[in-house]
Homo-oligomer: A and B are copies of this chain.
Amino acid sequence: MLEAAKAVFITSGVDAPAKEIADLAGVGVGTLYRHFPQRSDLVKAVFQREVDACVAAGPALSANHAPGTALTEWIDRYTEFLATKRGLATALHSGDPALEALPAYFMERVGPTLGALLDAAAASGEIRADVTPRDLLLAVAGLCAPVDHEGAAFSRRMVAFLMDGLRYGAVPPEPRG
């Protein structure tokens, strides 16, 4: 059912008719409403599942790579995640009052993960220090949104440019005396 919802969200957007989701999942609409009384409950559930994997990747990366590389790799993964889950990105800003809590939930969950990677990379002087996780999360999401006809390659290229932009303003650490 979550699978069905995800699929429909991608193809028809978050505002797709409930029936479409129910049909694809092979259940009645009633069942859908029983499990997810609010539309946002469904979106949130789909979101959560996807987001968790993203969050989980953080620690492993920072343990096995240099700060800058870890950050880049994580962003790559996040890009992949967004580029594949088209439609969910826009759900973050749908304006639907029932979905208003979603971005906050998302930030709360993913923010710390990215925050750790950013801090480490900034501390090692590889990127500028004045970027918040929120900034990057939203910006990358935006860069992945237009991908309809461009494909993931476009997204990756644009994100790479953005990351370069963070390096451009980096402040190298003081050389030790």
Q: Which residues of A contact B (CB under 8 A)?
A: 13, 90, 92-93, 95, 103, 131, 135, 138-139, 141-146, 148-150, 154, 157-158, 160-169
Contact = CB atoms under 8 A, between A and B. Distances in A.
Contact of A164 (B92, B157, B169): B169
B135 A146 contact: no
Contacts of A154: 135, 138
Contacts of A13: 95
Of listed A95, A135, A141, A161, residue having the most chain B CB within 10 A: A161
Of listed A13, A143, A154, residue having the most chain B CB within 10 A: A143
Given A161-B162, A164-B169, A168-B168, 7 more contacts: A13-B95, A93-B146, A95-B148, A135-B157, A138-B146, A142-B146, A161-B166
Contacts of A167: 168
Q: Give the 5 A-B residue pairs with the shortest CB-CB distance, closest first.
A: A165-B165, A164-B165, A161-B165, A164-B168, A142-B142
Nearest to A144: B142
A100 to B, nearest CB: 9
A167 B103 CA distance: 32
A128 B116 CA distance: 31
Given A163-B165, A165-B163, A165-B165, A146 B157 contact: no
